[in-house]
Chain A
């Protein structure tokens, strides 16, 4: 069965430093993988999507993620954090075996210090 594990419940970085949010997935088939962001009192917004094209996926607001099949990972990175990046981030997996149900991770709360 498909599943997704976000390895950190909280990540704290200083403004201007790199961001790394870790995600491991389990999937029987070639999965589609997503990262969504949820700002306080706002709806979920798609950051980026991987669907078996390039393994390095670029998203909005300077975020990118790399699909590593051998490690079953899909970590989210950003070279330089901004205060506005403070939010909850969700890694999501979807595949044929799961009927393309979207399975969300538990989330990682990103704190950005001035």
Chain B
């Protein structure tokens, strides 16, 4: 049983570019949440997708957008990259999402130069 998988594991971009990160949830899970973890800090909630819709959103600008596909996999898109977007991006899956145990992937390390 595969857990949460994220791709790519590492990514280097320059300011102003756009990036797409991908996540496949744990088998049987229907909810995907995305987090940004800056170095030395706790994960910050970006948004959560359930039934292909954004259900909750944290305090992130509209440059951060996402999508969930019918097979429950998800993408995180970030436009007009800033140096401050450099971080570890974590995907977590759960069943129906509310107050449920989160299963995390190993993350995508994004570096913006």
The reply on B102 being an interface residue by CB < 8 A is: yes
The reply on B90 being an interface residue by CB < 8 A is: yes
- Known A-B contacts A32-B99, A90-B42, A102-B33; the reply to A43 vs B56 at CB < 8 A is no
A43: contacting residue among B42, B45, B107, CB under 8 A:
B107
Q: State the main secondary structure of chain B at its contact with A.
A: loop
Could you say which residues of chain B place their CB within 8 Å of the CB of A104? 35, 42-45
B41: contacting residue among A46, A99, A107, CB under 8 A:
A107
- Known A-B contacts A43-B104, A104-B43; the reply to A94 vs B56 at CB < 8 A is no
CB closest chain-A residue, reference B57: A101
A46: contacting residue among B45, B56, B97, B102, CB under 8 A:
B102
Interface positions, chain A 94-114, Cβ under 8 Å from B, are 94, 99-107
Size range of the interface on A? 20 to 34
CB closest chain-B residue, reference A9: B40
- Known A-B contacts A42-B106, A46-B101; the reply to A103 vs B56 at CB < 8 A is no
- In the bound complex, what is the Cα–Cα distance between A101 and B98 (angstroms)? 8
A-B contact pairs, 29 of them (CB 8 A): A41-B106, A42-B106, A43-B4, A43-B105, A43-B106, A43-B107, A44-B104, A45-B104, A46-B102, A49-B101, A51-B99, A94-B99, A99-B56, A100-B56, A100-B97, A100-B98, A101-B48, A101-B56, A101-B58, A102-B45, A102-B102, A103-B45, A104-B35, A104-B43, A105-B42, A106-B41, A106-B42, A107-B40, A107-B41
Contact surface of B with A, Cβ cutoff 8 Å? 3-4, 33, 35, 40-45, 48, 56, 58, 90, 92, 97-99, 101-102, 104-107
